[in-house]
Each structure stands twice: as C-alpha cells, then as structure tokens.
Chain A
Amino acid sequence: MPAPIRLRELIRTIRTARTQAEEREMIQKECAAIRSSFREEDNTYRCRNVAKLLYMHMLGYPAHFGQLECLKLIASQKFTDKRIGYLGAMLLLDERQDVHLLMTNCIKNDLNHSTQYVQGLALCTLGCMGSSEMCRDLAGEVEKLLKTSNSYLRKKAALCAVHVIRKVPELMEMFLPATKNLLSEKNHGVLHTSVVLLTEMCERSPDMLAHFRKLVPQLVRILKNLIMSGYSPEHDVSGISDPFLQVRILRLLRILGKSDDDSSEAMNDILAQVATNTETSKNVGNAILYETVLTIMDIKSESGLRVLAINILGRFLLNNDKNIRYVALTSLLKTVQTDHNAVQRHRSTIVDCLKDLDVSIKRRAMELSFALVNGNNIRGMMKELLYFLDSCDPEFKADCASGVFLAAEKYAPSKRWHIDTIMRVLTTAGSYVRDDSVPNLIQLITNSVEMHAYTVQRLYKALLDDISQQPLVQVASWCIGEYGDLLVSGQCEEEEPIQVTEDEVLDVLEGLLVSNLSTPVTRGYALTAIMKLSTRFSSVNRIKKVVSIYGSSIDVELQQRAVEYNALFKKYDHMRPALLERMPIMEKTATNGPTEIVQTNGETEPSVVESKHPPPVTQPTNQVTLISQSFNYLLLLTLCLGIPPMTAYNKNGLKIDFTFERANPNPNIAVITIHASNSTEADMTDFVFQAAVPKTFQLQLLSPSSNVVPALNQGTVTQVIRVLNPQKQQLRMRIKLTYTLKGSAVQDLAEVNNFPPQSWQ
C-alpha cells in the first residue's frame, strides 16, 4: 500500500479544485483512504492522516471518525504525534462526547512528563477544553505545577487553574496556598497569568477578595516599576512597557478597591500618575487610559480623580480614532447614572457624535443622548434628536422614535410642545413607530382638552400632505372623527384657523377608504370616523350613503362595521347621538408596564354588555386597545331583543322548551336553544332531537349537550338550532324525538306552530 499523500500535497491538490463539487469529490476520496489507513492501525502515518483530517475539518467537512485516532496520537511517545494529537483533540473533541474522558489518563501522564513541552501540551489542552470531570481528576497535578520554579510551566499552570476554577468553582480553595508568592516572580508571563488567576478568585469569592486586599501595595509597586522602567525590548509596545500586564493589574486593582476606602486610597496616586503620564498618540496608550478610567470610576476615588477620568473620556470623544470615540461613548453610558452632571458637561460633543458616519458610534451616541435628556435641556436635545430621526438609517428609527416619545412624556414643557413633537415623529418616521404609540397618542390628545382644535387642524393638514404613514393616518382619522366639528367651525386658537368645509373633510376620509396605501386597520378607523361625523356634521345623507356602500365590502371587518352602522341609522337612530358622543377623559389604570384603559363613562345598558360578551374594556394586552372603536359598535352587537320563550312539546314526561336569541347582526337568522327536561322516574337515554322546516327556510342543528335527559327534572339537555328565514315567513317546524326509557325505545313526531311573531319577523 503506497504511503498516504503528505499534508501540504493534499492542501495543494484541494486548492486546485475549480468547483465545490470537484472539491467534495477529492475530499471524499481522501477520507476513504484515510479511513482504511486508520483501520489498518498504521502507526507511522497516523499523524499525517489526522493532520489532513484537521485540514478538511476546517473546510467544513465531517471528521468525527478521527476522534479516537487523536487519542492514540496523544498516547504515542513521539512528540510530533502528541502535538498533532492534542491539536486534534482540541478541534474535534469536546466535553459533550464521552470519548474525551479517555484523554484524562494520558494528560495525567503527560503532566508529569520529563519534557516541559509535553507537559505544556497537556496543560494547554486541559486549560482550553477540560471538562468538569477532567478538571476534578487533574486539579491536584495542576496545583503541583503551580508551585514549580519553571516559569514556562508555572504560567501555564496558572491559566489552567483559572479554567479549573471556572469549571469547578469549589476547587478554588486548593489553589490558595500556591498563590502565596506568585507576585514575587520576575517573569512577566508568570506575573500576568498570576494576576489573571487572582482576579478570577477575587471575582468569585468575597472571602478571597478580602484575603487578597493586602496585595494592593505590591500590585501598585509592580505597576509603578512598569511605568518608570526604561526600554525593555521584550515587552515594549510603542514605547510602553508590557501594556497587557499593566491593564490586567489595573483591572485587579479595580476589583480590590471597589467599596473599600483604604485600598482605594492606596491606589489613588498611581492611578493619577498613569492617567496623566500615559502616551496617548497610539492605541496602546489609550487602552491603558481606558482601563484606568474604568478603575477610577469604580473605586472610591476622590472627586478630583473622578473629574480627571471624565475629562479623559471627554478628550477621547474628540479623538480622530473611531475606536476611541466608540469606547468613550460606551464608558460614558456606564457612568451617566452615577456622575450625571459631569457627563452633562460633554453633552454637545456627544450630540455631535449623532452625525458620525460610523453606525456603532451613532447607536451609542443615541443611547447616551437619551440618557442625558432632562427637564432643562429637553427643548434643545429634542431638536437634535428629531433631526437625527429625520436622517438616520431605518435600523435606528424605531428605537429613536420610542426614545423621543418617552422623553417627551417625561419632560414636555407644554402640552402644545408635546403634541407638536409627536406630530413631528409621526410625519417623519411614522411607519417605524411601535404599535402601542397610536392608542397612547390618542389618549394624550383626548386628555389635552384645550388643544383639541389645534390638534385636529394640524393632523388634517398632515393628511392632506401624505397618507402613506399608517400610524399618522390612524390617529388623524380618529381625531377628525372626534373633533371634526371644531375643524369646520374654525375655532383654533394656537394658530391660524383653516377654512374647510364638511364635504372637504368627508372627501379626505373617503379618500383613505379607497386608497391602496391604507391598511385594513386604517380603513376601519376611517369608516368609524365618518360615522361619528354623522352626529357632528349636517351632511348626514352623504354619510349614510358611504356607510351603506361598505355594507357589501369584501373586507369582512369593514363590512361588519358598515352593516352595524347602517342598522344604527335605520333602527336605532334614537341611540345614535348617545353612542357617538365625544369620548371622555381616559384614566390610565397602571402607571408602568402594560397600560390598560378603563372606559369610565357609564353608557347605556352596561349590564347587557356584561352578560352577553366578555367586557372588552379591560383587555390585558401589552398594547392599549382602542376600545373607543370597538365599544361603539359592540354595544350594537350586544343589544338583546327580548323574545319570550315557549314550550314546543310536552308529552309523556318529556318537555321541550325553546328560547330565542338574536345575538347576531343578521336579522334573518333566528337562534333557538332547545331545553329538554324529563319528569319521569327514569333517565331517558339515547335521546335524539331532530327538526325539519319548510322549503323556504334553512336549518342548522348544532351538537347537543348530551344524549341523556336525567330523570325527575334533575337536568336538561340543550341544543342550538339556527334558522335562516330570508323571506320572513311564519316559522313552522316539525320535530322528531327518539329516546330509550326503561329499556324500551320511544319515538314521536310533532309540529311546532306556536312560534312568537318576534322570532321570525
């Protein structure tokens, strides 16, 4: 069998493939060869084959059949084998497969190997992907290596210990003794990893935190040496000595100094020194400054130091480097709660960042701007934010609009300003506002009684310009429906009243109904608005005509409304003014979270409403439901026309009563409920009720509640019959009853002719 091809040869070959299919073919061929080679347990080329497999895995092809081979490589004596084996284990295995536990013994042996690079491989693998079980088994070995004087192994053991602690926090205690003199090391690798280990322990355990506070002076000293030391070629980055270690120490100091006066005091000087002396021309210096600022803000630093920190952030904001500006905005967002006034000083710079070209910066600036809005700066800030809303990308518009609404609600200096602001949002970003803003806005408008005329006028003018933004159109329709009378009478105080006739208003609303731009919901608003104007305008005939046209609309929702409004004109005209009168002030029942509106007007027949339908007034949704819409025609729906019940059949102990309902807007359908009761001593089982009607009628029989009529009137069987009577003829019915009583089957036929006139007229 020829030797399997070399890794680089394979890579070269695969790269010549011109199509995905060609590549797949090559890979499949090679995988097959590798598989058979694995089956032959070939030691010499196992390493080569696994390496190839890892390459193919990186291209996205499955390589699970190589997992066990990795284990065999790890167990081999050759360093080359171990190196590839451990790499394969880290790439192909994870703690989800049981197979990985087989590694534990190999790793244990390798942790005690005579060659430090083998020990290093084992520590690395354990520290990157060791599962909790493996960590538990091998923690002792790691702890031993943490105490070695070999700095190469010590630093690896330290990070391995970090991983062990992350996986099995209970094991943290056992590493405590080994940490005793970690910071006395000269080797930067060990120092750095030790600081990481100490940080991890302090973050996880308040006891450890208290214990390690005594290290603050030592850490301060190390940091000082790094800053003051001369050039060190090994650790130098653009003139700064080991920035990685500096940042880690600053982070540990932050954790140690938090909520501790003494520690914070001990680090004040060094922090001030770093903050003022660090070179800021390159990214690396700014990285250290950034960490310093975070530390200053988190510990109990004196106010002078805090101001210094915020000023550094302010300078960052003016930096040309985008990354620095981004980081500054993020930090300021974190500190705006605690140091609000200090951050306010940089407000104008922050607002300028809204105009930045970078998307990440814009978003941060927007969040920060909203956090900075208060009663004093609301007018100025809102101007900037609205300008931003105009020009920003669509991904920002929804959040920005919500932010504007929230800020306006909290800090609006006047009702007119509030309404103007909301109008501005609706006209510029109207399609991006959240669903609940429409009811919220309507509630706001309703409650600003003195602004009704102004509001409806502005909304009307906005409609003349643009009817494409649905939330705006919906609010406008609603307002025109409510306050149309103010519009035509020209009563506006806040601005020049416009001259508009009833017909012009109706033109606009009808335009909404026919426009392709209007959604079904919007059309519903428009139709209802038109209907409401019938009690406010004099052109009732025109309105009647529009409403009757939509009685045959294919949109079911629209059709239903139109039919009901028609009925309102025809049969319930006396109720129309009451139903369509002006909405009262709505109270919000909840102040935070989902808001519900409770309708507080005590309008007609509330008891009827309650008994017929679940009250729509308190729907527990996250959005405020606009019940003013549903309420008016729901009332219609639920008007119960009281028709007296009748007895249809009463023989041999079986009595059948009919009750009537017309809980249906279609006056041609009678809904009859039969109630069968049994006064004999025994149950009537297998009870079946059948009915037939004359040809001009149609009948629908729904399922009965049961087919056993209990004895001695202990219960009834009910069943619903729906009768369609389009020609309004006198209702007649033939019924057939079958049941079993005391073992014998009973059958009877009867005619029912005594229907009350109301049930079919």
Chain B
Amino acid sequence: MIRFLLLFSRQGKLRLQKWFTPLTDREKKKVIRDMTMLVLPRPPRSSNFVQWRDLKIVYKRYASLYFCAGLEQHDNELLALEVLHRYVELLDKYFGNVCELDIIFNFEKAYFILDEFLMGGEILETSKLAVGATMEEADTLQETMEEYMSKPAY
C-alpha cells in the first residue's frame, strides 16, 4: 500500500498531505522534512526512486510541484509512477490545465479528487472518466447555487 502522498513546491512548501497510516503530528513533520530534503536536491536526470528507511520513495516533478509517495517493499514502483501521473491527469481534467495555484486555492477539491481515486493506500478507481463524473455529481450536491456555478461558498 501507499503509506503517504505529499505534494510540495520547489521551495519545500507543502501543498497537500495524505497519510494512510496513523502517525503523530511530530512524526508527520519529520517525514515531510525528510522527503523535501531527500527529493529537492536530486539532480534533474536521476531515477525517480530512492530508498528511505524501509520504504521505497517514488517522486515525480510536474511543473513547479513535486509529487512524492512512500511505498512498501512489495509495491511496484513503476506502477506508482503511473498512479502519480493518473492523479495529475485527474486534477488537470477537473481544473482545466491545472497549475500550482489551482491546488493552493482549491486544496479541498484536490483532496476530494484524491479520495475518489485512492483509499486506504490502494487504488479505488481505475477509470479516468468515473472519477470526473463522480466529482461533478457530488459538486452539485453542494447546497448553494453559487457553489454549483463553481464560485465557492466558503
């Protein structure tokens, strides 16, 4: 299973954190710090895999954001790259040419999309279209017309 998924900028600012195992706040902060220190200094043409403690770290940079996942030993790293790519595609479809600012200003949506794609560290839905359709329908349930017109109520 995936133990955690982190999104951070090139300056190391956290944009999203999803944890699939219970950790204390302190432990989470340590992991985040370790990941940024592990990933950010890597030269551009190195492999996307690093061994860290007992986990395989898979990361990929998309524009100004690093997507970083921690896998267990028996997980398939090459497939994890596909998982990260699929998530980016889903974000792209939802936001229309997604950029870092979209994820900053609509972080809760990024989480909602993620929760329709992964659950408990495993892939929930393998169809590109299904996730998008679900998000659209769920969004309509948001109580105000304003929300439906994709103008946030909160």
Q: Given that A326-B49, A360-B51 are contacting pairs, would A244 and B126 also be in contact in the complex, using a CB cutoff of 8 Å?
A: yes
- Contact check: which of A55, A117, A189, A360 meets B49 at CB < 8 Å? A360
Interface assignment of A79: CB less than 8 Å from any CB of chain B: yes
Q: Given that A96-B22, A360-B49 are contacting pairs, would A6 and B122 also be in contact in the complex, using a CB cutoff of 8 Å?
A: no
Which residues of the other chain, B, contact A237 by a CB distance below 8 angstroms? 82, 86
> Which residue on A lies nearest to B137, using beta carbons?
A117
Q: Given that A80-B147, A189-B130, A283-B78 are contacting pairs, would A162 and B137 also be in contact in the complex, using a CB cutoff of 8 Å?
A: no
Q: Given that A84-B108, A358-B46 are contacting pairs, would A6 and B152 also be in contact in the complex, using a CB cutoff of 8 Å?
A: yes
Say whether chain B's binding surface is mostly helix, strand, loop, or mixed.
mixed
User: Separation in Å of the A103 CB from the closest CB of chain B?
Assistant: 14
> Which residue on A lies nearest to B22, using beta carbons?
A94
Q: Given that A54-B108, A247-B76, A358-B47 are contacting pairs, would A128 and B119 also be in contact in the complex, using a CB cutoff of 8 Å?
A: yes
Interface assignment of A95: CB less than 8 Å from any CB of chain B: yes
Q: Mark A667-683, 1 if CB is under 8 A from B, else 0.
A: 00000000000000000
Interface assignment of A242: CB less than 8 Å from any CB of chain B: yes
- Contact check: which of B45, B108, B125, B153 meets A189 at CB < 8 Å? B125
Bound-complex Cα distance A83 to B45 (A): 40
Interface assignment of B62: CB less than 8 Å from any CB of chain A: no
Which residues of the other chain, B, contact A324 by a CB distance below 8 angstroms? 78
B143 and A78 contact, CB distance less than 8 A: yes
> Which residue on A lies nearest to B14, using beta carbons?
A58
Bound-complex Cα distance A678 to B9 (A): 85
Residue total for B at the interface (Cβ-Cβ under 8 A) = 54
Q: Mark B90-132, 1 if CB is under 8 A from A, else 0.
A: 0000000000000011011001100100011011111111100
> Which residue on B lies nearest to A240, using beta carbons?
B82
A283 and B81 contact, CB distance less than 8 A: yes
> Which residue on A lies nearest to B131, using beta carbons?
A189
Q: Mark A110-151, 1 if CB is under 8 A from B, else 0.
A: 000001010000011001110100000000000000000000
User: Separation in Å of the A33 CB from the closest CB of chain B?
Assistant: 15
A117 and B141 contact, CB distance less than 8 A: yes
Which residues of the other chain, A, contact B14 by a CB distance below 8 angstroms? 58-60
Bound-complex Cα distance A189 to B117 (A): 10
A80 and B153 contact, CB distance less than 8 A: yes
B137 and A80 contact, CB distance less than 8 A: no
User: Separation in Å of the A327 CB from the closest CB of chain B?
Assistant: 6
Interface assignment of A532: CB less than 8 Å from any CB of chain B: no
Q: Given that A128-B20, A360-B49 are contacting pairs, would A235 and B126 also be in contact in the complex, using a CB cutoff of 8 Å?
A: yes
> Which residue on B lies nearest to A248, using beta carbons?
B123
A291 and B76 contact, CB distance less than 8 A: yes
B50 and A360 contact, CB distance less than 8 A: yes
A124 and B78 contact, CB distance less than 8 A: no
B79 and A55 contact, CB distance less than 8 A: no
Bound-complex Cα distance A131 to B21 (A): 10
Which residues of the other chain, B, contact A248 by a CB distance below 8 angstroms? 123
Interface assignment of A709: CB less than 8 Å from any CB of chain B: no
Interface assignment of B134: CB less than 8 Å from any CB of chain A: yes
> Which residue on A lies nearest to B112, using beta carbons?
A83
A79 and B124 contact, CB distance less than 8 A: no
B111 and A87 contact, CB distance less than 8 A: yes
A244 and B153 contact, CB distance less than 8 A: no
Which residues of the other chain, A, contact B16 by a CB distance below 8 angstroms? 58
Interface assignment of B64: CB less than 8 Å from any CB of chain A: no
Bound-complex Cα distance A196 to B141 (A): 30
A58 and B141 contact, CB distance less than 8 A: no
Bound-complex Cα distance A124 to B51 (A): 29
* CB within 8 Å of B: which A210-239 residues: 233-235, 237
- Contact check: which of A54, A189, A358, A360 meets B124 at CB < 8 Å? A189
Bound-complex Cα distance A123 to B15 (A): 25
For B45, B82, B134, which residue has the most chain A Cβ atoms within 10 angstroms?
Answer: B82
Bound-complex Cα distance A94 to B22 (A): 6
Binds B, one of A152-160, A655-663, A739-747: A152-160
Residue total for A at the interface (Cβ-Cβ under 8 A) = 74
Bound-complex Cα distance A166 to B141 (A): 33
* CB within 8 Å of B: which A241-262 residues: 242-245, 247-248, 251
Bound-complex Cα distance A233 to B23 (A): 39
Bound-complex Cα distance A118 to B108 (A): 16
B154 and A323 contact, CB distance less than 8 A: no
User: Separation in Å of the B65 CB from the closest CB of chain A?
Assistant: 14
> Which residue on B lies nearest to A363, using beta carbons?
B51
Interface assignment of A8: CB less than 8 Å from any CB of chain B: yes
A234 and B128 contact, CB distance less than 8 A: yes
A193 and B122 contact, CB distance less than 8 A: yes
Q: Given that A96-B24, A360-B46 are contacting pairs, would A117 and B154 also be in contact in the complex, using a CB cutoff of 8 Å?
A: no
User: Separation in Å of the B44 CB from the closest CB of chain A?
Assistant: 11
> Which residue on B lies nearest to A291, using beta carbons?
B76
B126 and A192 contact, CB distance less than 8 A: yes
Bound-complex Cα distance A237 to B115 (A): 21
Q: Given that A162-B122, A247-B76 are contacting pairs, would A51 and B154 also be in contact in the complex, using a CB cutoff of 8 Å?
A: yes
B152 and A8 contact, CB distance less than 8 A: yes
B124 and A193 contact, CB distance less than 8 A: yes
Q: Mark A692-713, 1 if CB is under 8 A from B, else 0.
A: 0000000000000000000000
B130 and A361 contact, CB distance less than 8 A: no
Bound-complex Cα distance A325 to B48 (A): 11
Q: Mark B17-46, 1 if CB is under 8 A from A, else 0.
A: 100101110000100000000000000011
User: Separation in Å of the A186 CB from the closest CB of chain B?
Assistant: 12
Interface assignment of A290: CB less than 8 Å from any CB of chain B: yes
User: Separation in Å of the A80 CB from the closest CB of chain B?
Assistant: 5
> Which residue on B lies nearest to A7, using beta carbons?
B154
B138 and A327 contact, CB distance less than 8 A: no
Bound-complex Cα distance A235 to B76 (A): 19
User: Separation in Å of the A206 CB from the closest CB of chain B?
Assistant: 18
Which residues of the other chain, B, contact A290 by a CB distance below 8 angstroms? 76, 78
Bound-complex Cα distance A117 to B108 (A): 16
A234 and B77 contact, CB distance less than 8 A: no
B143 and A51 contact, CB distance less than 8 A: no
Q: Given that A11-B105, A163-B120 are contacting pairs, would A323 and B78 also be in contact in the complex, using a CB cutoff of 8 Å?
A: yes
B17 and A58 contact, CB distance less than 8 A: yes
Name 23 interchain pairs, CB-CB below 8 A, sorted by A: A11-B104, A48-B153, A51-B108, A55-B107, A87-B108, A87-B111, A96-B22, A117-B138, A128-B115, A160-B120, A189-B124, A235-B128, A242-B126, A244-B79, A244-B126, A247-B79, A286-B78, A327-B49, A327-B77, A358-B47, A360-B47, A360-B49, A361-B47
